[in-house]
Every structure is written in C-alpha cells, then in structure tokens.
Amino acid sequence: MSRKDLADAVGVNPQTIGYLERGDYAPSVELALKIAGVFSAPVEMVFSLKPFASLAQIIRNKGEH
C-alpha cells in the first residue's frame, strides 16, 4: 500500500503519512484509530510511545533464542 493509498483511506494529505513515518508528528486518537482500522490491527501494533524494533533486529533476536 502506498502512502497516497493510505492517505486517501484515512482522509489526510499523503505528506502527513510521511510525517507519521518519520515520527515528526503525533496523530490524534481519531487518526491513529483510522489508520489502525485500515490495517485491521490494534492501534498499539501501529503506534507506540517507544520506537519499534527494526525487522532485522527482530529476526536477530529470534535467532539468538
């Protein structure tokens, strides 16, 4: 899904999605819920107060256990 597709789905400017990805903008609860709804995922899977671990980090952690 492109930024534009997601932006159209939740009714924001595509640049706003870029701001969210960079962590430069904290969305309102309403927008966070809309975005989580697009992915049919709980909001805490999409947004977190702590930075998410990268995919490489997750794979590395799994390999160590």
Partner 1 sequence: MYVRSRRRPMGSAMSPFLARSLFVALYTLYPLGCILQLGPDTGDDLPILSVIGLLMVAASFLAFAVLAGSSFQRQAQEPDAKLDERELAQRNRAAYRAFAVLAGIVALGLLYMDLRMDFADRFPLWAPTEQAHWNALFWGAIILGLTLPAAFLAWETEPPLED
Q: Are 29 and 37 in contact (CB under 8 A)?
A: no
Residue 29 touching partner 1 (CB under 8 A): no
- CB nearer to partner 1: pick between 24 and 64: 24
The position carrying tokens 């809309």 is 34
Residue 4 in contact with partner 1, rule: CB under 8 A: yes
Q: Record the tokens describing residue 38, joined without a space.
A: 């697009």
Q: How far is the CB of 6 from partner 1 (least distance, A)?
A: 10
Instruction: Give Cβ neighbours of residue 51 (< 8 Å, ≥ 6 apart).
Output: 23
Contact residues: partner 1, CB under 8 A = 2-4, 11-16, 18-19, 21-22, 24-25, 27-28, 31
